[in-house]
Amino acid sequence: MVILSRFWNLTNKPLHFDESINGWFALQVEQTGFYKYDPYNFHGPMYFYMLQFFDFFGGRNIFTLRALPSCFSALSVLIFAFSFLRSQIVNRAMLFFILLSPAFLFFGRSGIHEMPFVFFQLVFAVGILRWGEKQDNLSVNLLLVGLFGMMMLKETFVLTLSSFAVGFLFLGRKEIARQFSVSTFKNSWQPRSSILLVALLIFFVTFFSGFMRNPSGLTDFVRAFLPWMKTGVGESGHNKEFLYWLKVISEAEPLVFLGVIMAFVGLFMRDSALRLMSAFSLAQLLIYSLIPYKTVWCVLSLVWGFYFVLAMFLEKFWQRWTRLRWVYLVGIFLLLPLQLRSDYLSVYREPIAMTHPYVYVNSTYEFKNFYTLLNKIFAEQPALILETKQIGTKEQWPWPWFLYGQPQVHYDLCGRTQHPHALFYICDAEDKSIIESHLDEPYMKIVMPVRQAKAASLLYLRKNVFDGIYHGDYQVLTPAGDK
């Protein structure tokens, strides 16, 4: 069921522009042999190397773009099938919550960094919780893998660490002294941890330095935090109000909203692990709410902490507060249909609901249908690959990834340059009169919304190729004028 839920109909939703950008970077890795880390990209290099590995076996297509995060989404569920934590109730509850989480399903089937990053967040969190129980070598190894995995994927790992620092404050002096004494570290650190640390450092240096072909990438890792912080507080077009995350959660992830309420209760519980996760989850929610720059996929980093809170409370109700057990369970199962509805609308419905809060600045189904048509005609008529194509809009993604390797692809704005006899033109509406005055043979004109919250683009298809193939609404233009 885990595999089916993560991989079935994986190409259903239209391609997100960020997915194509990640695919483009993977192609650059293939072309140059390494990824040149850019501190202004705000993403570590590991994802691009892993994606290039998937591309090598699966080819350049949407399924391959999404297969990588889908694997990590499945692993995020399966990690709780192992008894890393003492409580089987917590393990099984977390498995259940993450299996059905709309955020883990939607963004776990999207070709972006978020899902691998959150997997390593979970590994790190499981290491911390196990450390509170046993202080053994496995805890140390989980912490090391989780930490380095986060560091090699996204700079936002500092927000995760900061939030856990807040959580530790709620442990109290005695509990901190018990868990973090020098003797405890000595007893838990074994030679295998040293070997693991060396291996992780080698991966870190190798990836950020581009296999030593870009040594400045190591210093850029530190330099990246200044532009990252400027973007977070500056005006970027992605700025949202303080309550944005609560609004998104209440609509898309109703069980997490219950977890937010329970986390405030958890701050005052005797159970140190529950206090830690409650404080961590609320601190993360507060930090992300205070940062003006908000892109909806970051919700994936927020939801799992509250699932831990729900799971830990479930253990309390099940073992100690038996009279209230069924009240808590009924509350969860009353919200479950809303959770499943969110899964269906955002992931499995055909077409998915483009108004769902997780579907954000996405390309449209009209656009999806067009590039599906292009794939078909390129397969049937390979000679068309050699034809001129002009992507003349200000927003050009995902075309550089989609048309990668094809000759005669031009990205000049339609209002500035017109390449004659193109197989198709894609133009901004403001360039309508200019491009139409330069058409020298019949074209089919289509008004096509390409991306959410953006004005529709104009698509001009050469009539002698697309007539009878394109079945949407269109207007025929000839050099003599409109007809």
pLDDT, tens digit, for every residue of 422-474?
Answer: 999 999 999 999 999 999 899 999 999 999 878 899 999 999 999 989 988 99
pLDDT, tens digit, for every residue of 340-350?
Answer: 999 999 999 99
pLDDT of residue 293 exceeding 60: yes
Average pLDDT over residues 13-30: 92
Q: What is the pLDDT of residue 369?
A: 92
Q: How many Cα atoms are found within 13 Å in the side-chain-facing hemisphere of 295?
A: 13
pLDDT of residue 219 exceeding 90: no
The beta-carbon contacts of 451-455 under 8 Å, at least 24 apart in sequence, are 451/17, 451/361, 451/362, 451/363, 451/364, 451/367, 451/395, 452/354, 452/359, 452/360, 452/361, 452/362, 452/363, 452/364, 453/361, 454/395, 455/428, 455/429
**Cα torsion angle, 355, 356, 362, 364, sign:** negative
> What band does 233 get if pLDDT is binned at 50, 70 and 90?
low
> What band does 228 get if pLDDT is binned at 50, 70 and 90?
low
**Cα torsion angle, 338, 340, 343, 346, sign:** negative
Residues 6 or more apart whose CB falls under 8 angstroms from that of 307 comprise 93, 94, 97, 98, 101, 255, 256, 259
Give the Cα separation of 10 and 67 in Å (integer).
Answer: 8
pLDDT of residue 354 exceeding 50: yes
Q: What is the pLDDT of residue 481?
A: 47
Question: Residues 396, 291: one domain?
Answer: no
In contact, 449 and 433? CB cutoff 8 Å: no
The answer to whether the predicted template modeling score (pTM) of the entire model surpasses 0.75 is yes
Which domain-ending residue is among 320, 348, 376? 348
Question: Residues 322, 383: one domain?
Answer: no
* CB neighbourhood size of 369 (10 A): 15
Which domain-ending residue is among 348, 383, 414? 348
The beta-carbon contacts of 442-445 under 8 Å, at least 24 apart in sequence, are 442/476, 442/477, 442/478, 442/479, 443/476, 443/477, 444/470, 444/474, 444/475, 444/476, 444/477, 445/474, 445/475, 445/476, 445/477
Q: Which of 350, 361, 335 is nearest to 251 (CA)?
A: 335
Q: What is the pLDDT of residue 183?
A: 85
Give the Cα separation of 483 and 476 in Å (integer).
Answer: 6
Residues forming a β-bridge with 444: 461, 476
**Cα torsion angle, 64, 57, 379, 396, sign:** positive
In contact, 390 and 412? CB cutoff 8 Å: yes
Token pair belonging to 455: 């004005």
pLDDT of residue 177 exceeding 90: no
% of residues, the chain, pLDDT over 70: 96
pLDDT, tens digit, for every residue of 30-69?
Answer: 889 999 888 777 688 999 999 999 999 998 899 999 999 9
| Domain-embedded: residue 359 | no
Question: Residues 302, 154: one domain?
Answer: yes
> What band does 227 get if pLDDT is binned at 50, 70 and 90?
low
Q: What is the pLDDT of residue 237?
A: 57
Burial code (b: 16+ CB inside 10 Å, e: under 16) for 283-321 equals bbbebbbebbbbebbbbbbbbbbbbbbbbbbbbbbeeee
| Domain-embedded: residue 124 | yes
Question: Residues 408, 276: one domain?
Answer: no
pLDDT, tens digit, for every residue of 105-146?
Answer: 999 999 999 999 999 999 999 999 999 998 999 999 999 999
- Domain coverage including residue 67: 2-348
Give the Cα separation of 429 and 418 in Å (integer).
Answer: 15
Residues 6 or more apart whose CB falls under 8 angstroms from that of 256 comprise 249, 302, 303, 306, 307
Question: Residues 344, 379: one domain?
Answer: no
DSSP state of 297: G
Token pair belonging to 140: 């140390």
Q: What is the pLDDT of residue 239?
A: 83
% of residues, the chain, pLDDT over 90: 77
pLDDT of residue 229 exceeding 70: no
pLDDT, tens digit, for every residue of 372-408?
Answer: 999 999 999 999 999 999 999 998 989 999 999 899 9
Give the Cα separation of 47 and 61 in Å (integer).
Answer: 17
| Domain-embedded: residue 57 | yes
Length of the chain: 483
Whole-angstrom Cα Rg for the chain: 25
Q: What is the pLDDT of residue 320?
A: 79
| Domain-embedded: residue 295 | yes
Give the Cα separation of 66 and 401 in Å (integer).
Answer: 14
Average pLDDT over residues 90-103: 96
- Select the more confidently predicted residue: 477 or 306: 306
Q: What is the pLDDT of residue 479?
A: 82
Question: Residues 242, 280: one domain?
Answer: yes
* CB neighbourhood size of 113 (10 A): 24
pLDDT of residue 294 exceeding 70: yes
| Domain-embedded: residue 450 | yes
Question: Residues 266, 144: one domain?
Answer: yes
Question: Residues 311, 392: one domain?
Answer: no
> What band does 324 get if pLDDT is binned at 50, 70 and 90?
confident
Question: Residues 333, 445: one domain?
Answer: no
Question: Residues 302, 338: one domain?
Answer: yes
pLDDT of residue 285 exceeding 90: yes
| Domain-embedded: residue 358 | no
Number of domains the chain is built from: 2
In contact, 40 and 84? CB cutoff 8 Å: no
Give the Cα separation of 369 and 348 in Å (integer).
Answer: 18
Q: What is the pLDDT of residue 231?
A: 53
Question: Residues 478, 335: one domain?
Answer: no
Q: What is the mean pLDDT of the chain?
A: 91
Question: Residues 287, 387: one domain?
Answer: no
In contact, 335 and 254? CB cutoff 8 Å: yes
| Domain-embedded: residue 287 | yes
| Domain-embedded: residue 360 | no
Q: Is the peptide bond before 39 cis (omega within 30 degrees of 0)?
A: no
